[in-house]
Structure 1
Amino acid sequence: MKPKAKRQTDPAIAQARREQILTAAAECFRRKGYHGAGMAEISKTAGMSAGHIYNYFESKEAIIESIIEKDMEEMFSIFQQFEDHPGDVLAALLDGLNIGVQRHMDTGACVVDLDMMAEAGRNAKVASLLRDMDIQARTRMRQLLTSERSTLKNIEEQELESRINVIFSMMAGLLLRKVLYPELTEETVLIALRPAMKTLLMPFDEA
């Protein structure tokens, strides 16, 4: 008698289940942090058994890895919008600045990012994933700022790296400011951030 063939899962259903688990895990991490949220709570929030979850993710660390990968996809989508913008790079980045501000001031979504940063101090794998994400983000920004549409296309490497790091530092710091100062608004931030960003995206003798 032939063994019963294993039923193949529809790829669309499998992806939907993965998204369901990732959404539930992110919610649990927001409430209790990475260490406080166990697989039992994640499975309860997702509405499925822990055994079912292990069909898609072998560990809680694998879930974090997928959350980071999802963040990377969203980040690359934003960079693609900048690259597809019909104007020059300065106009593209300034026009899309509010998108970045909204994303970095969303304390509901970004609190998981804070927890992952804390976990990176204890977990070498998570630290490696976050650093790889940062490398890829800086690479995309470097490509954008040295493209033919950019006024910084002939900038020296050291100065370019300095500007990119300052830009990323400003954006990443918005979440901390929002946590410490909940009254902070997007509109208030953009009053000072737009001219500061414009200075960083132009040759200093033209800023």
Structure 2
Amino acid sequence: MSEKTTKKHHDPVLAEARRKQVLKAAEDCFRRKGYHGAGMAEISKTAGMSAGHIYNYFASKEAIIESIIQQDMEEMFSIFQQFEDQSGELVKVMIEGCDHGVERHLNREDGILKIEMLAEAARNPKVAFLLQESDTQARTRMRGLLVGERSQVKDVTDKELDARINVMFAMFSGLLLRRTLYPELQKDTILLALRPVVKTLLTPF
């Protein structure tokens, strides 16, 4: 499908509400039918507006995916901001934040959507690029935290810092797959082992 040019809107509040309406509908469609199974017709039906109306806000289905990824990034960045704003040792603040991090990655609806986007990334270079860019921004933000004065690992080598960040990200993102394969998985059980591991990654070896 060729991309269309989105129109400008004079009422930003209404435009934002319509955008959120479309994104919520698209997320629901992607969960139920997958990325390929959910065309613009399905999304417009779920959103309760015409496909032509949707093109006023999003130029393509890829643009919708991009906005969904951006929403996820904004939520993640808000968590990083909370880490930055809280006083005290960074390691303690981040260990306490594990509770929210695990809960976020065990959310079934979010998990289904993220798995679907990862599956699409394996087939669609544009979606793969968007997810990779998102991951790069997240790792950069985490690096900023770990090289700050409150961090106990600010003096480790760049290679070691990258390794620690990637292991932490892999642990949390992997919870999506574990919950899919093991639906009975509980947050409290995960935290028993996760908190000590995170503490190890945030302190000198």
* TM-score normalised by length of structure 2: 0.94
Alpha-carbon distance between aligned partners in 1 of 2:38 and 2:45, rounded to the nearest angstrom: 11
**Per-residue deviation, residues 79-138 of structure 1 (Å, max 9, x unmatched):** 101111111110111111111101111121121111111111111111111111111111
Structure 2 partner of 1:125: 126
Structure 1 partner of 2:113: 112
Report the CA distance shift for 1:196/1:58 in structure 2 as closer, same or farther (over 3 A).
same
Structure 2 residues not aligned, in runs of 5+? 1-6
Alpha-carbon distance between aligned partners in 2 of 1:7 and 1:68, rounded to the nearest angstrom: 22
**2:9/2:15 contact within 8 Å kept:** no
3-state secondary structure, aligned to 2:99: helix
AA partner of residue 197 (structure 1) = V
Distance apart, 1:52 and its partner CA: 0.6
AA partner of residue 42 (structure 2) = E
**2:22/2:44 contact within 8 Å kept:** yes
Distance apart, 1:160 and its partner CA: 0.6
Structure 1 partner of 2:4: none
**Per-residue deviation, residues 27-46 of structure 1 (Å, max 9, x unmatched):** 11011110111111111111
Structure 2 partner of 1:182: 183
AA partner of residue 140 (structure 2) = T
**2:29/2:43 contact within 8 Å kept:** yes
Structure 2 partner of 1:141: 142
Structure 1 segment 13-52 matched on structure 2, within 5 A: 13-52=14-53
1:98 equivalent to 2:123? Answer no
Alpha-carbon distance between aligned partners in 1 of 2:163 and 2:8, rounded to the nearest angstrom: 54
1:161 equivalent to 2:162? Answer yes
3-state secondary structure, aligned to 1:109: helix
| Higher Cα Rg, which structure | 1
- Count matched residues: 199
Structure 1 partner of 2:83: 82
Question: Which of structure 1's runs of 4+ aligned residues deviate more than 6 A?
Answer: none
Report the CA distance shift for 1:8/1:185 in structure 2 as closer, same or farther (over 3 A).
closer
